[in-house]
């Protein structure tokens, strides 16, 4: 859903960035610096290099505070990631949109960061929907290829 929103809306902003799998891509402290560099480079359309998380925060605040940006942080699992990548509202210009996907609501609500009214909880897929989504990704069609019905059932059950 977040990727679809990004693809639909990115052209309406001065700069945009979709950082996917933040959880997986920020296991080491140095990984947050890499994510900050990616964020800055994509939004500014130019290679930007920061060497520390603190420098990254400073550069994000300074260079993006007057830009209308779309930033999507996908699969965030720690407050620290938000603090270092999206900080506060004043880091970004008027009209900016920050979208965060997470499996843990507390990441958003702790410390009063986001109010409940701004959180959209995605409905879980039923078995038919999950199966169709799996098939589109695995077989580029809405049903399993011959001989793969059992694999599809196991995959959707396991994921579910």
Residues 10 and 44 in one domain: yes
**84 and 40, same domain (yes or no):** yes
pLDDT at 160 over 70: no
Average pLDDT for 70-92 = 94
Q: Please list, residue by residue across 126-156, b when 16 or more beta carbons sit within 10 angstroms of its beta carbon and e when fewer do.
A: eeeebbbebbeeeeeeeebeeeeeeebeebb
- Whether pLDDT at 40 is above 90: yes
Average pLDDT of span 104-131:
79
Averaged pLDDT, 117-121 = 78
pLDDT in tens, 4-24: 999 999 999 999 999 999 999
Q: How far apart are CA 13 and CA 109, in angstroms?
A: 27
44 and 63 within one domain: yes
**9 and 69 part of one domain:** yes
- Residues 38, 65, single domain; the answer is yes
Position 111 scores a pLDDT of: 61
Which comes out higher in pLDDT, residue 96 or 156? 96
Under DSSP, the state recorded for 121 is P
pLDDT score for 48: 92
User: Which residues are within 8 A (CB) of 128 and not within 5 positions of it... i.e. 6 or more apart?
Assistant: none
56 and 112 belong to one structural domain: yes
Residue 114 and residue 132 in one domain: no
DSSP state letter for 48: -
- pTM of the complete model: 0.80
Claim to verify: residue 103 and residue 30 sit in the same structural domain: yes
pLDDT classification of 138: cutoffs 50, 70, 90: confident
- Both 81 and 149 in one domain: the answer is no
Element (H, E) at 154: helix 149-159
Residue 133: pLDDT band by 50, 70, 90 thresholds? confident
For the chain, percent of residues with pLDDT exceeding 90: 59
Give the model's pLDDT for residue 122: 80
Of all residues in the chain, the percent with pLDDT exceeding 70 is 96
Instruction: Report the CATH number that the domain containing residue 76 is assigned in CATH.
Output: 3.40.50.300
């Amino acid at each position: 859903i977040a990727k679809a929103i990004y693809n639909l809306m990115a052209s309406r902003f001065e700069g945009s960035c979709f950082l996917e799998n933040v959880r997986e891509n920020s296991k080491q402290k140095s990984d947050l610096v890499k994510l900050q560099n990616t964020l800055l480079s994509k939004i500014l359309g130019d290679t930007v290099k920061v060497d520390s998380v603190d420098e990254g925060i400073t550069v994000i605040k300074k260079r993006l505070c007057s830009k209308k940006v779309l930033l999507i942080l996908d699969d965030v699992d720690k407050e620290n990631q938000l603090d270092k990548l999206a900080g506060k509202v004043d880091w970004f210009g008027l009209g900016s949109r920050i979208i965060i996907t997470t499996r843990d609501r507390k990441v958003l609500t702790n410390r009063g960061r986001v109010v409940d009214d701004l959180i959209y909880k995605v409905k879980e897929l039923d078995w038919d929907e999950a199966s169709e989504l799996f098939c589109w990704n695995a077989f580029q069609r809405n049903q399993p290829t011959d001989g793969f019905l059992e694999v599809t059932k196991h995959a959707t059950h396991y994921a579910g």
